[in-house]
Structure 1
Amino acid sequence: MRNRWCGWLVMVLAMMFARPAAAQDSARLVAEIDRFVRDSMPGMPFSGVVAVSRAGQPVLARAYGTAHYEASVPVTVETRFLIGSLQKQFTSAAVLLLQERGRLSVDDPLCRYVEPCPAAWEPVRLRHLLTHSSGIPDIFAVGFGQTRMLPRSHDEIVALFRDQPLQYAPGERFRYNNSGFILLGQIISRAAGMPWTQFMRDSLFAPLGMRNTGFADNAEVVAGMASGYSARAGKVIRAQFEDRTTATADGNSTWSTAGDLLVWVHALRSGRVLAPASLAAMFGTHIRLDSGARAGQEYGHGWYTQRTGGATMFSHGGVVPGFRSYAIHLPASDVTVMVLSNSELDVRPLAERVAAAFGFPPSSAQGR
């Protein structure tokens, strides 16, 4: 049964095999990933792709599980997945790029782009939306999760939270907020003079050759796209349906491949997407998290920052029904880890285990 679930492909650069030790290290890492997937994903089999690059070059890509259970189609490294909130880094980059072009400023008031604008939103600036510190209630706090299968226009989505009072003063604290990124999609459209999805394609994806990244709706057939699954009583079931009549910039409809996402992170970090000041803002510290599972970490624009033992890790995850994703970048070694899955399993531990093999946190590397 496990053999039917797991198809795999391992790519290791020829340069890494120049020394026997490098080949042994690579084989050990692959074996550890296999063992982690086998032993640490209870409830249903892990299904997805684990990929790593160093300095923009592929180190490994390994595929597991089933893209379509109904037809017994295996996952491959080219399989496309919904990526959820990994979209937030695309949205953040688009805002910063429009700022570079003089079309907006992150210090602009939100009400400049929203008409009519609720009085409660008058103190909110775009930077508060980017850093999850606006005080606007998250869409999932106002009942969206229970009705996410219903078709809605963008205005109908915003109407779910636009008349709610602020939960705190803008900039006062971090509280993860999809509502702010939904509004940023509307702002990108207004500033760019085109739908935000088109701006993403034209200004971010196409220049980097990201042909395996796009936006799904209810009707479109996306070649190579995995179906999303959950589990019930130990059995694999189809994930909850989520309507995609309207693509939102928080990540409800964005799909990609591990390969495209590795290309994206390398291009972003190497300065091919944003000017140095914008790049520094994206990965800089704008707000510190004082509670929750990430207490002590910092948030920039679309990336968390964790500092341990003098080392730094940037990361972010994504969640939509039937899919999970997690991205990690280690700036000291220029290593990027990407995990995409079409099952509702927490893939963050897997991504962090791979990151530990490349030296984060430093204590983990020393103990190996």
Structure 2
Amino acid sequence: MAGSLVWLGLLATGGAAAAPALSPPDPGIDALLQRYDGQVPGAAVLVLHDGQPVFQRGYGLAVVEDHTAVTARTNFRLASVSKQFTAAAVLLLAEDGALHLDDPLKRWLPSLPAAADAITLRHLLSHTGGLLDYEDLMPATATAQVHDIDVLHLLEAQDRTLFAPGSQYRYSNSGYALLALVVAKASGQDFATFLRTRIFQPLGMRDTVAHQDGVDDVARRAYGYSAFDGRWQRTDQSPTSAVLGDGGIYSSLDDLARWDAALYDQRLLTTASLRQAFAPATRTNEPDVPFYGFGWRLNGDAQWHSGESIGFRNVILRYPRQHLTVIILTNRDGPEPYPLALQIAQRWLDTLQ
């Protein structure tokens, strides 16, 4: 049986709300999520329309070993969905006047080689910097986790780029890891602290954290799993899982509803900054994704981003013109939930056109 429906304690608009009446399960959505149901790694699904939760449900297990069920407050590793928060941190510092988007990257990270001279922060935000992928620079036998600062050290030894900065698009985890270091340099705070004090706490995202082992704990944590020979095994961490800027944030449906609400007004970022985040900064080479903004993929009316890391697959899909958002968080290696999000969104879009 699918996990019980749990509504947000606060409306996505951030105001206090009486507990709304429970809505019945949706047989169509439940059928789409059937593979996540039961005693298996699960999924959390939220649909927001006009700032209100019109569907929210947990399926399966956050922790397989002790049968902990997924709920609206289960915190999943967001993987690359984290990039929109890194971009927002840079935009906040630009509003503060602490940095400028067209600053040379080497103003902030001068140890990079000469090949990085022409790279700007704007290039990193839009994946047009041409940096080498740090994952490709790690030894194949590496088992120790790397951190954002280790990404910098790996790139310091590479006096070349994949293309002239600004001339092409290539999705780059390296760029967002370096942006986390820039945020720390420009703010005088470590990246996780800046996110907590400038984004998560102001928005009431009480349990969201850029997770660092030995520094913080993840409340109601979902652990990641992969299927081997028909059995689920915990595969929660890899050597790259400790890099924060490109994918290290944990969050829940409850908290992401607050984040989504903040993207409609100026409670966090100015209208000008939001316009920059969602403007088509560059054409991409990704199928069915014409443009990339700052931490967002852009396709017609849709603003979205997926997140993939060992043991987790996630997506946030927004249609701001229709005030519709679908969020799917999963703690398993597959499948990619973006097609599911599109199918779920279409159920509402068909009535909103």
State how 1:262-301 maps to structure 2 within 5 Å: 262-289=257-284, 291-295=285-289, 297-301=290-294
Q: C-alpha distance in 1, partners of 2:253/2:151?
A: 30
Structure 1 residue 241 displacement after superposition: 2.9
State how 1:151-300 maps to structure 2 within 5 Å: 151-152=145-146, 154-164=148-158, 165-219=160-214, 220-239=216-235, 241-243=237-239, 246-251=242-247, 253-289=248-284, 291-295=285-289, 297-300=290-293
CA-to-aligned-CA distance 1:85-135 (integer Å, 9 cap, x gap): 111111111111111111100000011011323100000010000000100
The alignment status of 1:331 with 2:320, answered yes or no, reads yes
State how 1:1-368 maps to structure 2 within 5 Å: 3=1, 6-9=2-5, 11=7, 30-38=26-34, 47-143=42-138, 147=142, 149-152=143-146, 154-164=148-158, 165-219=160-214, 220-239=216-235, 241-243=237-239, 246-251=242-247, 253-289=248-284, 291-295=285-289, 297-307=290-300, 312-345=301-334, 346-359=336-349, 365=350
Aligned partner letter, 2:302 = M
CA-to-aligned-CA distance 1:40-87 (integer Å, 9 cap, x gap): x79x95611000112222212110001111111211121111111111
Q: Is the contact between residue 149 and residue 181 of structure 2 (CA under 8 Å) also seen in structure 1?
A: no
Structure 1 residue 197 displacement after superposition: 1.2
CA RMSD after TM alignment: 2.5
TM-score normalised by length of structure 1: 0.84
Number of positions where the alignment pairs a residue of Structure 1 with one of Structure 2: 335
Structure 1 residue 247 displacement after superposition: 4.5
Q: C-alpha distance in 1, partners of 2:8/2:103?
A: 47
Structure 1 residue aligned with 2:14: none
* 3-state DSSP of counterpart to 1:231: strand
Q: Is the contact between residue 52 and residue 59 of structure 1 (CA under 8 Å) also seen in structure 2?
A: yes
Aligned partner letter, 2:213 = N
Q: C-alpha distance in 2, partners of 1:317/1:107?
A: 26
More helix by share: 1
Structure 1 residue 293 displacement after superposition: 2.7
Q: C-alpha distance in 2, partners of 1:248/1:12?
A: 27
Aligned partner letter, 1:134 = G
Q: Taking structure 1 as reference, are residues 217 and 243 closer, same or farther at Cα in structure 2, changes over 3 Å only?
A: farther
Aligned partner letter, 2:131 = I
5+ residue gaps in structure 2? 10-22
Q: Which moved more, 1:317-326 or 1:122-131?
A: 317-326
Q: Is the contact between residue 218 and residue 245 of structure 1 (CA under 8 Å) also seen in structure 2?
A: no
Q: C-alpha distance in 1, partners of 2:181/2:224?
A: 28
Q: Which moved more, 1:128-137 or 1:217-226?
A: 217-226
Q: Taking structure 1 as reference, are residues 242 and 193 closer, same or farther at Cα in structure 2, changes over 3 Å only?
A: same
> Share of identical aligned residues, percent?
35
* 3-state DSSP of counterpart to 1:288: strand
Q: Is the contact between residue 40 and residue 61 of structure 2 (CA under 8 Å) also seen in structure 1?
A: no
Aligned partner letter, 2:251 = S
5+ residue gaps in structure 1? 14-25, 360-364
Q: Taking structure 1 as reference, are residues 55 and 146 closer, same or farther at Cα in structure 2, changes over 3 Å only?
A: farther
Q: Is the contact between residue 291 and residue 299 of structure 2 (CA under 8 Å) also seen in structure 1?
A: yes
Q: Is the contact between residue 49 and residue 340 of structure 1 (CA under 8 Å) also seen in structure 2?
A: yes
* 3-state DSSP of counterpart to 1:160: helix
Q: C-alpha distance in 2, partners of 1:337/1:32?
A: 15
Aligned partner letter, 2:342 = E
Q: C-alpha distance in 2, partners of 1:158/1:129?
A: 14
Aligned partner letter, 2:222 = A
Q: Which moved more, 1:149-158 or 1:329-338?
A: 149-158
Structure 1 residue 234 displacement after superposition: 1.9
Q: Taking structure 1 as reference, are residues 144 and 10 closer, same or farther at Cα in structure 2, changes over 3 Å only?
A: farther
Q: Which moved more, 1:232-241 or 1:58-67?
A: 232-241
* 3-state DSSP of counterpart to 1:328: strand
